Amino acid sequence: MNPTNASTSNDARHPALARLYAVRPHWRAVVRARDAIGLPDFTLLHAGPPYADPCEPAAPVLSSAVLCCLYEKWATTETQAEHLIASGQVKLVNAQSFGVVTPLAAVVSPSSTLVEVADAHDPSRRAWSLAGSGAGPQIRFGSRDPAVLGRLAWRDTVLARELAAALEHVGPIDLFALAATGIAGGDDLHARTSAATAALRAQLSPFIEAPSVDAMLADTPLFFLTLWMAACHLMMSATARDADPATTLVVALAGNGREVGVRLAGKPHIWTTQPAAAPAGPRLDHAAHAVASPLTGDSGIIDAAGFGAHAFALAPEPAGTFAAWLPADWRRAQSALLAGDHPAFAGLRSALDAAAVVQQNVEPLAAIAMIGADGRTGLVGRGVYAAPVALFEAALRAL
C-alpha cells in the first residue's frame, strides 16, 4: 500500500472500527495454558514478534524461560535448561500466534494460569493473558530470582483455585465497566490500573476464602493489567476479521527484547519489525545505572486500542510521572494518530492507525515498564516507549 493513500485507508477502516466497537469483553474463566490453548510440553510462549532464531532469545526472556523449564521440571539446573533452549528441544514461540498476550519478559508454559476473556456477544471469540500474582519477584521481570518459582506455584494452585471459585459465584465480569471505573478514578489502564483493580477486588473479595489471595489483590494495583491486555487484544483482533486488505489499524504493537513489531488489520498475520530501543522513564533506586532492555512485552496493545499513553490526559498521576519524557505537544499530537471515538469511553479516542502515524509523522507512545537488559536485574522502572514512524511506513508498504 502507498503510505500516502489516505482515502483508501479511511474507507477500509470504517467497518473495522464498527467491529471493534461491537466487542464487549468479559472475564469468563481461569484456565491452564495446556487446557485453554492446547499448549504442548516443551513449548514456551514469549511476547512480541517471532525471533529470527528462537534458540537465542533476548536475555530477560531467556531468564524467564529457564525458570519455566525448572518449574515444569523439564530441567533440574539452569545449565540444563539453557541447553534445552539453545538446542531447540524447548521451543520458544510468539504468544500472539496462540491468541495470548503476555507482559514484559513473561513466558507462558503449559502449567501457567491464564485469564480468559471472551466477547459477550460471541463467547467463541476469546483471548488470554497471564494471571497476575502480586508484588515482588515475578516472571515478567526477566530475572533468575529463584523466588519466582514459589510465586508460580502459588499462582497455579492457590490463586487459580480461588479466582475460579469466585468467578463461579460472580459470573462473567464485564471489563468495560471496570475500565470505565478505572478511567474515572485516574487510571490510564496501562501504567496505572489502581481504581479498576480496586473495583474488581470489591466484586471478588466476598467469595475469596484464602487471605493470601485477597491480600494480593489489595496490594497489587496492576492486577487488572493483564485482563485489560487480553480485552484490548480481543478488541483489536476484531478489526482484522474479514478486513479489507487496505485496513491500516494496528492490531499489535509489541517487542521481544530485540525487535519491535507491528501487525496491521489488513494483513494481520504479517509482522513488520525493526530493531527496538528501550523505553525511558523514572527508575527504581537500585536500578539507577542498569541498562534497560529494548522493548519487551505485548502490552502495547493497550495503547494501540487508545488507552495507556493515549489516555494520559485523563490520568494525572502517570501523566505527571512521565512529564519529563513526554513530547511537548503530546496531547494533541497523540490524539491525531487514533482513528475513532469509542462509544463506551467518552473523551477517549481509539484505534491506532498506521496511516495516521505516517501522515502526521508522529511517533505513537506506549506506557511499557523497563526491565534489565542483562536478564538478572529484573524491574528497572516505569517507562514510555516511542515507536518509530519508519516502522509504520514499512508496515504500510507490506499491505
One CATH from 3.40.50.150, 3.90.1700.10, 1.10.10.10, 3.30.1490.20 for 6-21+244-397: 3.90.1700.10
> What are the Cα distances from residue 75, in Å, to 5, 44, 49, 223, 376?
53, 14, 26, 30, 19
Give the span between the Cα atoms of 246 and 12, in whole angstroms.
Answer: 6
Question: Considering the chain, what percentage of its residues have pLDDT values greater than 70?
Answer: 97
The x, y and z cell numbers of residue 253, run together, are 504493537
Residues 183, 236: Cα–Cα separation, whole Å: 19
Q: 230: pLDDT confidence band, cut at 50, 70 and 90?
A: very high
Question: pLDDT at position 68, please?
Answer: 98
pLDDT for residue 136? 85
Instruction: Say what the pLDDT of residue 6 is.
Output: 52
Sheet holding 113-119, edge to edge: 100-101, 122-130, 113-119, 25-32, 173-174
Q: What would the mean pLDDT of 118-129 be, rounded to a whole number?
A: 98
Query: pTM for the whole thing?
Result: 0.96
Residue 94 has a pLDDT of 98
Examine the pLDDT at 15 and tell me if it is beyond 80. Answer: yes
pLDDT interval class at 33 (50, 70, 90): very high
pLDDT higher than threshold 90 for residue 7: no
- Give 36-60 pLDDT, tens digit per residue: 999 999 999 999 999 999 999 999 9
pLDDT for 171 equals 93
CB atoms under 10 Å from CB of 39, counted, come to: 22
Per-residue pLDDT tens over the stretch 63-110: 999 999 999 999 999 999 999 999 999 999 999 999 999 999 999 999
Position 12 confidence tier, pLDDT thresholds 50, 70, 90:
confident
pLDDT tens profile 345-369:
999 999 999 999 999 999 999 999 9
Q: What mean pLDDT comes out for the span 17-26?
A: 97
- pLDDT for position 151: 96
Closest CA to 312 of 353, 233, 364, 367: 367
Please check the confidence at residue 1 and state whether its pLDDT lies above 80.
Answer: no
* pLDDT at residue number 5: 55
Answer whether residue 290 shows pLDDT above 70.
yes
pLDDT, mean of residues 202-208? 97
Mean pLDDT of 306-323: 97
Q: Find the helix packing angle between 224-238 and 175-184, rounded to 10°.
A: 120
Domain ranges of the chain: 6-21+244-397, 24-231
Question: Which fold would CATH assign to domain 24-231?
Answer: Enterococcus faecalis V583 fold (3.90.1710)
Q: Which of 85, 86, 108 is nearest to 38 (CA)?
A: 108
Q: Which pLDDT belongs to residue 135?
A: 84
* Residue 288: predicted pLDDT: 87
Q: Is residue 229 pLDDT above 80, yes or no?
A: yes
Q: 348, 341 in Cβ contact below 8 A?
A: yes
Residue 279 has pLDDT above 90, yes or no: yes
Average pLDDT rounded to a whole number, residues 7-24:
86
pLDDT averaged over every residue in the chain: 96
